[in-house]
Chain A
Amino acid sequence: MPSLLSIDALLIAACAWLAVGLAGLAAPRQARFVAATLFPAGAFVGLAVGGVGLFALGGDPQTAVLAIGLPELPFHLRLDSLAAVFALLLGFASAGISLYAAGYFRHQDAGGVPGLLCLQYHLFLASMLMVLLADDAYAFMVAWETMALASFFLVTTDHKHGEIRRAGFLYLLIAHVGALAILLAFGVMTGGSGDYRFAALRAQELSPFWASMAFLLALLGFGAKAGLVPLHVWLPEAHPAAPSPVSALMSGVMLKTAIYGLLRVSFDLAGTPLWWWGVVALAFGLVTAFFGVLNATVQSDMKRLLAWSSIENIGLLAVGIGLALLFHAYRMETLAALALTAVLYHCLAHAGFKSLLFLATGSVLHATKERSLGRLGGLIRRMPWVAWLALVGVIAGAGLPPLSGFVSEWLLLQAFLFSPGLPHAWLNMVVPVAAAVVVLVAALAGFAMVKFHGIVFLGQMREPALQEAHDAGPWEKTGLVWLAFLTLLLGVLPGSLILRLDAATRQLLGAGLAERMSEQGWWMLAPISPERASYEPLVFLGIILLSVWLGRGLVKRLYHGRLRRSPAWDCGYHFQGPRAQDTAEGFSQPIRRIFEPVFRMERHFPSIRDREPYYAVKVEDHFWYWLYVPIARLAARISALVASLQGGRIAVYLMYSFLTLILLILVARP
């Protein structure tokens, strides 16, 4: 019996984060102090949280009650294996991001007041931890809203730009629509009992109709936070607006809290799922993934590109959840565990590589003051560290072996291979075909990632000013290396972690992969059996490294290692400047052409009469015009109607209040 329970350790960590944040207020303008002392301290706490999460995985659920908040309504807290997985994610990812932030916020030009930023940042971290620990709807909503507000202020750090204020407002709006839906979902799940503890929700027997309502509301609410289409529009606006460490935190960690919430409700609280829940999640996931990745390939702003890629990954996660729900609904628990493991693993993998990529854009942004892909290029020569570490993220993001993104994709596809066994005449034919969309999305993600890396880091520099760029500082490098290390570790040693994830799937489904996997070697990943499918990333990596090393050595020994430099071949046309390379728009032209109906495009083509011919293309989101603009118009119209009540005379206003009062008295009779 350890004297210190894991849940207590996590509560202490949350308090420590708050303390670090408050310490920022002590010296709000001293960027050096805030950056060099407080952020590393926060990183240290993050590391501890991650460690505790890893330790608590598989342990018995621990509960605690905090007598804060309203009287008679304390915070119920609980740490179980599912929460531990996400605490692990939060801790380890935020450790890297905080380390990076220690370097990033040192510079005054990062915008905002450093102390205030520090408070918001650490409040954000603490509230995410509390979301994971919450064991009643009240605590959950308080933490959830704190998280939304803290991240809103972080997004609008640079609030002097109208564009950023607009992004922040949009984010806040959708976050609140989502929060409302979540609140309603909890309300539905209580079944009118008035007991909002999760234990009570779990015990509540809901009719299929109300359970489905709860699920749909939760999907809406958490989907809004995670960025499921059509509630994704805030993501590509808010991520570029926020400072890079904040983007990394939001994309890498905060989106996962929404996934956590969705898992919590659909597998744990809402009771036994109906089969069509899985279909709904699967369908939304497929649309989101496909729409997200296509938009990622056509972006010209590097942070927007990554934001769209996050939408794609959220889509893939929803696909995995849908598949797990389907298997779960038909009581095929081992397969559900396989799909759910893929989801959890992808959460971890995405947290690692997407944070890494966002931080890399931060370094680029800091070194060049440039976000537009059209004015970057060739940075590998000035920033080799960032470029090579970003390559790690790029390979993982493209879902290629031997890094982390591939493992989860592989698990998901393995789960799909079992879907013909579903005992439903349509599903067992349609679901395998859905795998075709998943693999298409994965391949398109490779396109987007090559575009990102190739245009930012490779080629000739598109602007002369880029010659001045400098590599990341030591703090930044440490953060990047840590995240790259996690990405590599998750890619190369999946077996041991999946054995630990077993506890979480076992908690939700009563089945896991451990009993089958523990018989095999630790280097091997064979979720069902080695005859069925196996993947040994370590051997994989070893063979490639060995043949690279052998190849180099043998060629040098048998032949020679001579090398000389000369200008690139110019086909006899010596004006091959940086302008001759593909632009960001040029690179994605095939995608825009093939998938034309998916985009809303405005193009300007030069004609032969133009004195200054130029080509321009603007790609926009259909959903904005299909959904949001009509809603905004409707709202404006209704407000215009209501505005006619506004007469300007106080007597009239008083009369309104009076009439309302009378109406209430009449209506609200017992």
Chain B
Amino acid sequence: MSVAGILGQLFALVLALLLAPLLTGWVNQCRAWLQNRSAPPLWQPYYTLHKLFNKDVVLADGASSLFRVAPFVVFGAMALACAIVPSLSTDLPFAPAADALALVGVFGLARLFISLAAMDVGTAFGSLGGRREMLVGFLAEPALLMVIFTVAMIANSTSVAAIVATLAHRDFVIYPSLAFAGVAFTMVSLAENARVPVDNPATHLELTMIHEAMILEYSGRHLALIEWAASLKLYAYSCLGLAFFFPWGIAERDNLLALAAAVPLLILKLAIGGFLLALIETVNAKMRIFRAPEFLGTAFMLAVLGLLVRLLLETRV
């Protein structure tokens, strides 16, 4: 553990905290363009966060202590997730704290808290949102884990940094199983980040909403933290996807030049990824809520299939 490593780690974390709302803003902007609307400014998420932090918290009468703690826990969990996913460099002193399996646990922990908080006030919407979130979660989580299994078997390691090192810094090899894993991962990311076709972040229609239904009772700084955490989650998922499927450009240990090049490359990759996300959201229609399990079930099975292909094609040749 070196000083440079710790500085790099902190830099990556701060960059994540700062860039995440920008990514959300970029996706919103692309979506607006693609849908022939005039786009909100790129900085809109920052304005929103600032506004929300300035506002008073209006707490529902029945809200308990758990309701007030949850936004902070969710935010902390997402910050941790951003800290252990290599975005710029594989030299991350915090990375041994949690490998890819524990990363799924981090997301699970955040989900548990936000669902419980949603049920806390005891409105119809809250419990509906909590239930739907858990519904999406119990299917998305195994699918994500199976994707990680596939990738981990390629790298012989569950540490995300080691996976990136294997994929990006060794000889170039085509892994057909990654095609399956990539499709499954995309599907899971859409569901986990409350995106069309599973959820729609821009609606408050009770028949369809999941994430928005859960956070309906939040306001002020609590809401700001949750929104920020949602941005961080999108950022973490994007970086995880990039790390697994497009890891080129992430710097190796003790390579300062590559680190300097990694920042603009990361921003470029995120911009392209954000545009593709907006494209997916535009060309797809929101599904009925009970199609969502089928969608995620497909993702789960694709991930399992990826694992099988990995076992067949890549270990016995």
Contacts and interface: CB of A to CB of B under 8 A. Distances in A.
A adjacent to B, CB under 8 Å: yes
Interface of A: 377-378, 380-381, 384, 387-388, 391, 394-395, 398-401, 406, 410, 413-414, 416-417, 420, 428-429, 432-433, 435-436, 439-440, 442-444, 446-447, 449-451, 453-455, 458-460, 524, 526, 530-536, 539-540, 543-548, 551-552, 555, 558-560, 562-571, 576, 578, 580-582, 586-587, 589-590, 593-594
A426 B266 CA distance: 42
Interface of B: 53-54, 56-62, 64-66, 69, 72-73, 75-77, 79-80, 83, 94, 96-99, 101-102, 105-106, 108-109, 111-112, 115-116, 119-128, 130-132, 134-135, 137-139, 141-142, 145-146, 149, 152-153, 156-159, 162, 216-217, 220-221, 225, 290, 293, 300, 303-304, 307-308, 311-312, 315
A628 B58 CA distance: 56
Contacts of B135: 447, 590
A458 B158 contact: no
The residue among B77, B96, B132 with the most chain A CB atoms within 10 A of its own CB is B96
A401 B76 CA distance: 13
Contacts of A416: 149
Q: Secondary structure at chain A's binding surface: helix, strand, loop or mixed?
A: helix
B138 A420 contact: no
Given A413-B101, A534-B159, A555-B53, A450 B304 contact: no
Contacts of B145: 413, 439
A562 B56 contact: yes
Contacts of A539: 94, 96-97
Contacts of A458: 64, 66, 116, 119-120, 122
Contacts of A532: 156-159, 162
A451 B112 CA distance: 10
Given A436-B300, A533-B158, A544-B80, A568 B217 contact: yes
Given A398-B108, A540-B98, A587-B131, A569 B217 contact: yes
A435 B149 contact: yes
A540 B138 contact: no
18 contacts: A380-B65, A387-B64, A395-B109, A400-B108, A429-B312, A436-B303, A436-B304, A443-B141, A450-B116, A454-B120, A459-B121, A535-B97, A540-B97, A547-B80, A552-B72, A565-B59, A566-B58, A581-B122
Contacts of B94: 539, 543
A564 B55 CA distance: 11
A447 B61 contact: no
A566 B56 CA distance: 12
Contacts of A442: 141-142
A535 B103 CA distance: 10
B142 A429 contact: no
Contacts of B128: 582
B57 A562 contact: yes
Nearest to B69: A548
Contacts of B130: 450, 454, 582
Given A443-B137, A455-B119, 8 more contacts: A420-B315, A436-B303, A459-B120, A530-B159, A534-B99, A548-B69, A565-B60, A568-B217
A443 B138 contact: yes
A596 B176 CA distance: 35
Contacts of B157: 531-533
Nearest to B123: A568
A22 B249 CA distance: 73
Contacts of B58: 564-566
Contacts of A395: 109, 112
Of all A-B residue pairs in the complex, the 8 with the closest CB atoms, nearest first, are: A460-B122, A459-B122, A547-B76, A582-B127, A568-B60, A454-B119, A539-B97, A580-B124
